[in-house]
């Protein structure tokens, strides 16, 4: 298992901060997982944060310059399992799938129903 610390995980309009990832191979389009600080578990990276960093995808650039951005690639560093566990236990680590995209809206709607 390979572990990665991603210093900037940009989810437009929802989250811009660090994330912790793990992958069996670390290869493009393989199964990658992000550690969710609220759920306290690994969730599949359906936001493609790891793949975006592998290929250096920068959505702010014009095509065909969106891929190959070394600044984006360098935001992802391989770390040890022990370093990953330390980050998982750090109270300052805040990444949660529930704070991104439609999940945040779904969660807000569910909470509204209980008021």
Distance separating alpha carbons of residues 93 and 99, to the nearest angstrom = 13
Find out whether 32 and 23 touch, Cβ atoms under 8 Å. yes
To the nearest 10°, report the CA torsion of 80, 54, 50, 99: 120
Residue 85: helix, strand or coil by DSSP?
Answer: helix
Residue 13: per-residue pLDDT = 59
Band (80; pLDDT cuts 50, 70, 90): very high
Q: Which tokens sit at 113?
A: 């129903």
Residue 60 belongs to what domain range?
A: 2-113
Average pLDDT, the chain: 87
Is the pLDDT score of 110 beyond 90? Answer: no
Band (14; pLDDT cuts 50, 70, 90): low
Residue 22: per-residue pLDDT = 97
- Determine how many CB atoms are found less than 10 A away from the CB of residue 103: 16
pTM for the complete prediction? 0.80
Residue 12: per-residue pLDDT = 63
Q: State what percent of residues in the chain have pLDDT above 70.
A: 87
- Structurally, how many domains does the chain consist of? 1
* Greater pLDDT, 24 or 15: 24
What single string gives the DSSP state of each residue in 11-77? ETTTEEEEEEEEESS--TTS-EEEEETTTTEEEE-TT-HHHHHHHT--TTSPTTTTS--HHHHTTEE
Distance separating alpha carbons of residues 78 and 14, to the nearest angstrom = 25
């Amino acid at each position: 298992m390979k572990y990665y610390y991603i210093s900037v995980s940009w989810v437009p309009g929802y989250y811009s901060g660090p994330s912790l990832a793990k992958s069996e191979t670390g290869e493009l389009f393989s199964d990658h997982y992000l550690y969710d600080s609220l759920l306290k578990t690994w969730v599949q990276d359906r936001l493609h944060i790891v793949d975006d960093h592998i290929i250096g995808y920068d959505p702010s650039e014009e095509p065909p310059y969106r891929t190959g951005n070394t600044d984006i690639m360098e935001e992802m560093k391989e770390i040890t399992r022990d370093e990953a566990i330390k980050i998982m236990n750090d109270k300052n680590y805040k990444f949660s799938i529930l704070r991104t995209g439609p999940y945040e809206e779904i969660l807000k709607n569910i909470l509204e129903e209980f008021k």
